[in-house]
Amino acid sequence: MTNFYIENFENIDESMYNKNVQVTGWIEDSRSIGSLIFLTLKNSTGKLQLIIKKNQVSEELWKQVDNITRQSIVKANGKLVHNEKNNIIELIIEELDILNEAVHPLPLDPTGRVDSGLDIILDSRSLSLRKPEIKSIFKLRNDSLMYIRDFFINNDFLEINTPKILSLGAEGGATLFKTEYFDKLGFLAQSPQLYKEQLMLAFEKVFEISHYFRAEKSNTTRHLNEFVSVDFEWAYKNNEQTMDLCEDLIKYTINNLIKNSSKELKNLDSDLSNYLNKFDRITYQNVIDDLNDLDHKKSFGEDITEHDLVVLSEKHKSFYFITDWPSEIKPFYIAGHKDSDLSMSFDLQFSNVELVSGGVRIHKVDELEKNMKKSGLDIKNFKSHLQTFKWGMPPHSGLGLGFDRLIMILANRKNIREVVLYPRDKDRLEP
């Protein structure tokens, strides 16, 4: 008869005391004291102390366990006991199989006794995830994704999946990755922009969470060449309503994390309670004025750079919106205010990091064509897109939120690479 298998160490309770059980996992630590060996067994759910008593096992098993390398995988059978003196639960081993031995030296120490640099962590990513703090990042990522999806479903949005191989780029420009597509030239999607707009014809409220690709050569702590974006698009809504939904989405996620993921937040030393105040909303013009007041010369019409945002972060340390950007520096599909060269657009910033870009879109085909030409795009390439605007396209707005950047903020990390399992940047295509 096989023993009862304990999959989740957190579920161990009194009813299992003094029963014969089976567990699997990796050996985190091993200490031998006279005729006893103490092993710390870990699995993805937690840890458990195993004890081997020399006089209760074969000499062969004793030797094997005495020489076992840390991080090796074992299967163990024995009796679960509650050590009342120390109030801990222990498994007194009767049988132990080494299923796979870890080969030392290992590239990093998952117990955290020795710190490793980011490159080593990324080069040995799967092993790094045995470190509790690093694992917490990805649990937080998982939880956030769940709450974001939940938020959209609660608000009657439809989840969509649009293609990632395209014949043209949503925003054009130099940051498109080219790919051979049989006898044609294809491009990897930079965003779902055109498709989510087309779907306004019938669905009115859509969201998509997916990977996008940008051939950006810049090496920064917030850019990757492959990233995950949370996009939504909805019909008949203005800029204020779209910003409100954006703010609600982020606060819904934060509130749920505070309520349900406190262990992870604690492991990551992340305090999210400060981010629940109303997000400031300032205009692009306010930013230009503020920068000039801070003796940082800036003229109207110039794009706001990373350096400008660092200067501005003196005043804005948390989430804030910058609205009404000059149309000139926004993509062709962004609608302008009536008789003005300002657009109905916004970015959400977190201190000096841009997190979201959004706005009201142009829904009239002639305006869209005019803007495309102005941006240097060949409207012939956008024929199938443009025709949908002649089939009864409602006014609509939406946004794209950099999910990895959001996690970087929520997990209190400084580099986007820390919060992505296998980041892709100019120098990294492996593992």
Sequence-distant (≥ 6) Cβ neighbours of residue 140 within 8 angstroms = 257, 261, 264, 265, 268, 407, 410, 411
Listed residue (88, 127, 89) closest to 111, CA to CA: 127
Between residues 186 and 400, which has the closer beta carbon with respect to Mg ion?
400
Instruction: Compute the C-alpha angle 306/420/137, nearest 5°.
Output: 105
Contact 294, 314 (CB under 8 A): yes
For ligand ATP, the closer of residues 61 and 170 by Cβ is 170
Size of the site for ligand ATP (CB under 6 A): 14
> ∠ CA(145), CA(150), CA(154), 5° rounding?
155
Determine which residue in the list 28, 29, 216, 367 makes contact with ligand ATP, applying CB under 6 A.
Answer: 216
Residue with smaller CB distance to ligand ATP, 227 or 332:
227
Spatial separation of the C-alpha atoms in residues 380 and 293, rounded to whole Å: 46
Smallest separation (angstroms) from ligand ATP to the CB of 342: 18
The token duo for 110 is 């998952």
CB of 269 to ligand ATP, least distance (A): 23
Q: Among residues 78 and 423, whose Cβ is nearest to ligand ATP?
A: 423
CB of 107 to Mg ion, least distance (A): 37
Near ligand ATP by CB under 6 A: residue from 405, 407, 409, 418:
405
Helix (H, G, I), strand (E, B) or coil at 377: coil
What does 404 interact with, of Mg ion, ligand ATP, none (CB < 5 to 8 A by kind)? ligand ATP
User: x/- contact string, 350-389, with ligand ATP (CB under 6 A)?
Assistant: ----xxxx--------------------------------
Which residue type is seen at 395?
A: P
Rank residues 220 and 273 by Cβ distance to ligand ATP and give the closer one. Answer: 220
**Which residue of 197, 290, 308, 404 would you call a contact of ligand ATP, by CB under 6 A?**
404
Alpha-carbon distance of 44 to 58, in angstroms, equals 30
Q: Is 349 in the site for ligand ATP (CB under 6 A)?
A: no
- Residue placing its CB nearer to ligand ATP in the complex, 140 or 409: 409
- Give the residue among 338, 339, 382, 335 at the shortest CA–CA distance from 363: 335
Which residues between 225 and 244 bind ligand ATP (CB under 6 A)?
Answer: 227, 229
Q: Which residue is nearest to ligand ATP (CB)?
A: 402
Q: Which residues of 162-189 are buried (b: 16+ CB within 10 A; e: fewer)?
A: beeebebbbbbeeebeeeeeeeeebbbb
Is 214 a binding residue for ligand ATP by CB under 6 A? The answer is: yes
- Residue 251 binding ligand ATP, by CB under 6 A: no
Inter-residue contact 423 to 122 (CB < 8 Å): yes
Residue 226: exposed, middle, or buried by beta-carbon count in 10 A (0-12, 13-18, 19+)?
middle
Query: Does residue 357 touch Mg ion according to CB under 5 A?
Result: yes
CB nearer to ligand ATP: give 288 or 355: 355
Site residues for ligand ATP per CB under 6 A: 214, 216, 223-224, 227, 229, 354-357, 400, 402, 404-405
Site residues for Mg ion per CB under 5 A: 357
